Amino acid sequence: MSETPASATAPRGADWGRFVGRPGRSLTRRLIWLAAAWILVALVIAALVLTQAFQESALRRLGDMLNETIDEIVVAASRTAEGEVVPQIQDARTLRLLSGKYWQVLEMQPDGRLVSIARSTSLWTYDLDLPPDLPRRLDAAFGEVITFNTTGPKDDPATREPLRVAASMKTIPRHDDPVVFLAAIDRSEVDADTRQFATLTWGAMVILGFGLVAAVFIQVRIGLRPLFDLRDEIADVRKGKAARIGRRYPLEIQPLAEQVNRLLDHNQEVVERQRTHVGNLAHALKTPISVMLAEAGTAQGPLPELVRRQTQVMQGQVDHHLRRARAAARAAHGLGETTAVPEVLDELAVMIEQVFRAKDVEIDWRAPDDLAFLGERQDLQEILGNLIENAAKFSRRRVRIAAGESGLGQMIVVVEDDGAGLPADQRDEVMKRGARLDESAPGSGLGLSIVDDLTRAYGGRLTLGDSDMGGLKAVLELPAAHTDARAPAAR
């Protein structure tokens, strides 16, 4: 039995902890709720204390007045011939009937009953309504003044005014039994004042509370703004608009920004290492493949043929895994690198013209000076290198390249040649092969499958058509970098 409550309270405690710090719950809301709870408690306590203090002070003032009245009637009390105590005081309110200010003198009988021996004119023939334990309390505080509340001396209970009463029991000369002096005054005005004060106080506190919560809200929003900024900047990095976290942040989150940058650097390092590793592996495998291929040569027979076939499979595997590893490296990387297109076009044009110099190929490229590709230089080199080499290979002499921004963060590169072109059905064949990476044969002749894979990896598109120059027209759509993000990455 004893275990049940223990195990039941444990998760409740955890729940409370989670209520203020649950993951996924808004930090803003959490701060505001905590502040609001604290403000609520503080304001309620303040309102209660203020109201109480006001009421006590008002009642004390009433009590002082009543004490004076008691003093007066005690002093004025005198014994008539009939042996009665008749205080004569000239307070007008005690003379006016049911005025709200009364006094009464009572005698304590030996059996504990109180018998009225004199009362103010205002009280007419009524008796003040007294609590039953009054004689005992008076006895206990003999000679002292005690105060209590009661209601007025009217027949109709609905119209009876609330009264504040001061009572004191004293022995007076020539009186055997103790005499009780009572003075009472209408409390309704004080009650109304207290109520009004309470209303005002609570109203003020509510307004103050809302004001404070609003202030906290604004403070939290402003205070957390750097966090939102950081979030936006990280989103920019992910989208490729920026390479690193560049802004300065407040002391508390600057280390976080620095750690993010360090993570990005580390990421880049890993990617570079992976690339180097893949390159080394390829190199290590390709030389033996070369040797075997050369050894088999063009000789006839089952063994040379087997070697030729198997080395081709090996070569295909090497190429395939090389490409896969690079695609994976790119996916892990992909952080906002930009590449100047004219530079890449220039170096490729010079180089490919040189390779095809026997044919005297002429590559005429045009691109705006500030055109930049949103992606890695190596990939743009790979895409354009294959396309241009392909065009040069199949051209008669001329290759034309036009690149430009097409708006909406895209750019278009058109590569054309004046060769014989490619029939439409073969174009489809080439593209289809590119779409299925796993089946793409090595040395597929056109290198277009690589171009297509890479272009797709960048969310771009490669379409083939007929050029008015006579040959093939390849149209590339690729992501372009925005002008402002371009400058720092330009090499």
Partner 1 sequence: MRVLLVEDDVDLTRQLKAALSDAGYAVDHAPDGEEAHYLGENEPYDVIVLDLGLPKIDGVSVLERWRREGKTTPVLILTARGAWSDKVAGFDAGADDYLTKPFHTEELLARLRALLRRSAGIASATLSCGGLRLDPRAARASVNGEPLRLTSLEYRLLHYMMMHQGRVISRTELVEHLYDQDFDRDSNTIEVFIGRVRKKVGADRIETVRGLGYRLTPLAGETEAA
Residues near partner 1 (CB under 8 A): 279, 282-291, 293-295, 297, 311, 315, 319, 346-351, 353-355, 357-358, 360-366, 377-378, 381-382, 384-386, 398, 400
Tokens of 337: 């690198």
Of 385 and 434, CB closest to partner 1: 385
List residues bridging with 134 in a β-sheet: none
Burial tier of 196 (Cβ tally within 10 Å: 0-12, 13-18, 19+): exposed
Rounded least distance, CB 243 to partner 1, Å: 19
Of 363 and 481, CB closest to partner 1: 363
Rounded least distance, CB 27 to partner 1, Å: 45
| Cα dist from 466 to 82, 368, 417, 419, whole Å | 139, 24, 10, 11
Burial tier of 28 (Cβ tally within 10 Å: 0-12, 13-18, 19+): middle
SS3 category, 150? strand
Of 361 and 391, CB closest to partner 1: 361
From 71, 107, 118, select the one nearest 180 (Cα to Cα).
107
The alpha carbon dihedral of 50, 53, 55, 57 has a sign of negative
Task: Specify whether the CB–CB gap between 394 and 472 falls below 8 A.
Answer: yes
Tokens of 236: 């920019």
Rounded least distance, CB 382 to partner 1, Å: 5
Rounded least distance, CB 265 to partner 1, Å: 21
Of 241 and 333, CB closest to partner 1: 333
Supply the DSSP symbol for 432: H
Task: Specify whether the CB–CB gap between 120 and 72 falls below 8 A.
Answer: no
Rounded least distance, CB 335 to partner 1, Å: 18
Of 162 and 342, CB closest to partner 1: 342
Rounded least distance, CB 390 to partner 1, Å: 12
First to last CA, the chain: 76
Of 253 and 289, CB closest to partner 1: 289
Rounded distance between C-alpha atoms, residue 491 and residue 485, angstroms? 13
| Cα dist from 214 to 196, 207, 208, 210, 218, whole Å | 27, 11, 10, 6, 6
Supply the DSSP symbol for 480: B
How many CA atoms are closer than 13 Å to the CA of 198, on its beta-carbon side?
16
Rounded least distance, CB 319 to partner 1, Å: 8
Of 68 and 347, CB closest to partner 1: 347
Burial 182-193 (b: 16+ CB within 10 A, else e): bbbbbbeebbee
Of 58 and 469, CB closest to partner 1: 469
Rounded least distance, CB 376 to partner 1, Å: 9
Rounded least distance, CB 400 to partner 1, Å: 8
Of 248 and 491, CB closest to partner 1: 491
